[in-house]
Structure 1
Amino acid sequence: MAEKIPTTSKQWNVTGSDGFDSLKFTEQAVPELGDNQVLVKIRGVSLNSRDILVAQGTYPWKVKPDVIPGSDGAGVVLKIGKNVTRFQPGDQVITMLNQQHLGGSLDPKTMRYGLGASVDGTLRTVGAFDEQGLVAMPQGLSFAEAATLTCAGLTAWNALFGLQGRPLMAGQWVLTQGTGGVSLFAIQFAKAVGAKVIATTSSNEKSKILKEKLGVDHIVNYRETPNWGEKAKSLTGGAGVDLVVEVAGPSSLKQSVESVKMDGIISVLGFVGGMESKEPLPSILECWMSLFTARGIWVGSRLQLEDMCRAIEGNPQKLRPIVDKVFKLEELKDALGYLASGNHQGKVCIEVP
């Protein structure tokens, strides 16, 4: 039986640049459905640091006035526009951050369609989305779990398997940082293909999830071992790691360079450790001096997301997303505050009624 199509949607909007005080929760009319759009009942949302930057007015790319934030969502199709061919009412779907990035490399045109910034996002009960910016949700996951795939899951997948001709392979070494969503996904994907993982963390408490739940091969506490790059290299027998999943940014880049092997790869994904560094930052010349490839990544394409979803659907228990805590839609400010605290181990999600 088809779900009843509501006439109103509860939603959050970013009405300024004053952080969480800029977030306003209201009930508005459901948007009119375009010919190429899909009306989705949102059931789960996953939060990212990007959502905090949008609320603060510090997101470095275009943000439309009064935007509905949130890039990561999962839900059920309620209705389709007359030209839509990829979905039918009742289908379960997840959103893409870059709505027009279907395959290949990003370009300035596809970058203009960023969900939750330049395009209204997922922090609402009902939304209209371009059919090209949705993919089928993997079976066997909850809506909250599936929502985590949009950004963190896809970014990790791209970091490990997205460099043409050089996907991660069994027996190689991967270094991850911390217990955020991207890092935990990277560990899961790496272990699934038979790679070995070294993970850095700031506390012994956080190391439990890495060792006991995810089977990380070695854990290095970067507070106790400031020169963790050298330590990581020694754990590989002195050769260095094949691939670094670099999420911390300036505060860790020097150590990432120290850890990587000759002809290795550093996938640079963000700056969750802040923009400040106590050490001089490595220059582009380091790529030549140490013979490694540094690769910047902004999430990934729809083709990559579909590949990842098939892998997860084929082994949902081993690759089940790790959700730390789930909040209600009206508790968004509390959820973002918890995310900003850095105490989470896994993804922070929103359950939508």
Structure 2
Amino acid sequence: MKAWQLQDASGLDGLRKVEIDRPTPGRGEVLVRINAVSLNYRDLITVRGGYGSRQKFPLIPVSDGAGVIAGVGPGVRGWKEGDRVIGSFFENWHGGEASAEKMAAALGGSVDGVLCEYRVFPAHAVVASPAHLSDAEAACLPCAALTAWSAVVKCGQVKPGDTVLTQGTGGVSLFALQFAKLAGARVIATSSSDAKIERLKTLGADETINYRETPEWGKLARVLTGGRGVDIVVEVGGVGTLNESIRSLRIGGMIGFIGVLAGEARQEPRLPLMVMQQQRLQGVTVGSIDDLKSMCGAIMQNQLKPMLDRTFSFDEAPEAFRHMSSGAHFGKVAIAIG
């Protein structure tokens, strides 16, 4: 079968298309023909060798894929050939609280990912694709969507009347906007592009802020909430945007800390303010298989659709990474394999 492999930590120059043996499912496993994958910022970090000694080579990158079961190993119940499925980001995290053991097998990082024609999964680690989604759309769910779900629904417990602040127009942020609206919340969305801001409004953003024009956007977010502050910030910028997130947050509010997109902090973080206002900084790393099932159920019930920016062919995988790295995308970048 064909696969893309990282041969070393030299970035995209180390990404090679190779021919390797097609795997065979063993006891308790299923073979999935991968029809589409989607890219996350974490995949860019992986390609750049950002996981250091924990990253082994050669490695098939990318965590999020969708396809069809093409083979069933002995002892598997509940799945048959032809079933449409997605794979869980963490194969060993069935449910409950996270632990080192549960998070040890992370697709496209500590174990091979899905940028290939076929992959074997433990039968317990695949979830039925929502029937109304294409494979490219379903491939957007395991990491980006579930991370947003964990931040907004599981950890944030957003309810009607709450205010959620999202940052930018990447996959996690757009899913967070969609889930917050499903929960009946008000959404303040930020972007550096007026054109993207108009698209955020069409997705349901109640208020928008151009953070390039308004560097102190946290202060403006407080104004937009009548001085109270927002209930939850879905923080994908990292330390580079953390201060404004703290400034925007209400007393007792939560920052769902997810990404590192904004680079280094320009000033010391406002940690004393967090203490005085009893704010919570909650790290969010995807979620469990049980969480993925719950989220897919909600997506099915509400017929929610991911926002796909562009779909590349399998041979164009390096171009897909470059497109995502440019920051020009609005939503998810996918690669069709089937």
TM-score normalized with structure 1 length: 0.93
Task: Please tell me whether residue 106 in structure 1 is matched to residue 98 in structure 2.
Answer: yes
Alignment counterpart, residue 282 of structure 2, candidates 295, 299, 312: 295
| 1:352 alignment counterpart | 337
| 1:6 alignment counterpart | none
Give the distance between the partners of 1:279 and 1:351, measured in 2 at CA. 42
Give the distance between the partners of 1:243 and 1:20, measured in 2 at CA. 36
**Aligned-residue offset at 1:86:** 3.6
Change (3 A) 1:61 1:265: farther
Structure 1: segments with no counterpart, 5+ residues: 1-8
**Aligned-residue offset at 1:83:** 2.0
Matches within 5 A, 1:189-268: 189-212=179-202, 214-268=203-257
Matches within 5 A, 1:144-223: 144-163=136-155, 167-212=157-202, 214-223=203-212
Give the distance between the partners of 1:282 and 1:347, measured in 2 at CA. 32
Task: Please tell me whether residue 97 in structure 1 is matched to residue 86 in structure 2.
Answer: no
**Aligned-residue offset at 1:135:** 0.8
Secondary structure of the 1:261 match is: strand
Change (3 A) 1:210 1:60: farther
Change (3 A) 1:59 1:86: farther
| 1:13 alignment counterpart | 5
Alignment counterpart, residue 280 of structure 1, candidates 264, 268, 287: 268
- Segment drifting more, 60-69 vs 185-194: 60-69
**Aligned-residue offset at 1:71:** 0.4
Q: Work out whether residues 62 and 112 of structure 1, in 8 Å CA contact, stay in contact via their aligned partners in 2.
A: no
Matches within 5 A, 1:308-319: 308-316=295-303, 319=304
Secondary structure of the 1:111 match is: coil
After superposition, the CA RMSD in angstroms is 1.2
Secondary structure of the 1:262 match is: strand
**Aligned-residue offset at 1:63:** 2.0
What amino acid maps onto 1:28 in structure 2? I
What amino acid maps onto 1:271 in structure 2? V
**Aligned-residue offset at 1:352:** 1.0
Give the distance between the partners of 2:45 and 2:260, measured in 1 at CA. 12
Alignment counterpart, residue 307 of structure 1, candidates 280, 291, 294: 294
Change (3 A) 1:60 1:206: farther
**Aligned-residue offset at 1:302:** 1.0
Give the distance between the partners of 2:274 and 2:122, measured in 1 at CA. 39
- Segment drifting more, 148-157 vs 107-116: 107-116
What amino acid maps onto 1:210 in structure 2? L
Q: Work out whether residues 13 and 24 of structure 1, in 8 Å CA contact, stay in contact via their aligned partners in 2.
A: yes
What amino acid maps onto 2:182 in structure 1? A
Change (3 A) 1:155 1:352: same
Give the distance between the partners of 1:311 and 1:38, measured in 2 at CA. 25
| 1:4 alignment counterpart | none
Secondary structure of the 2:30 match is: strand
| 2:107 alignment counterpart | 115
What amino acid maps onto 2:268 in structure 1? P
Q: Work out whether residues 173 and 196 of structure 1, in 8 Å CA contact, stay in contact via their aligned partners in 2.
A: yes
TM-score normalized with structure 2 length: 0.97
Give the distance between the partners of 1:63 and 1:80, measured in 2 at CA. 29
**Aligned-residue offset at 1:60:** 5.2
Task: Report the count of equivalent residues.
Answer: 338
Secondary structure of the 2:124 match is: helix
Deviations 1:77-129 (A, max 9, x none): 01111022242111110011111111112111122101011111110111111
Q: Work out whether residues 50 and 59 of structure 1, in 8 Å CA contact, stay in contact via their aligned partners in 2.
A: no
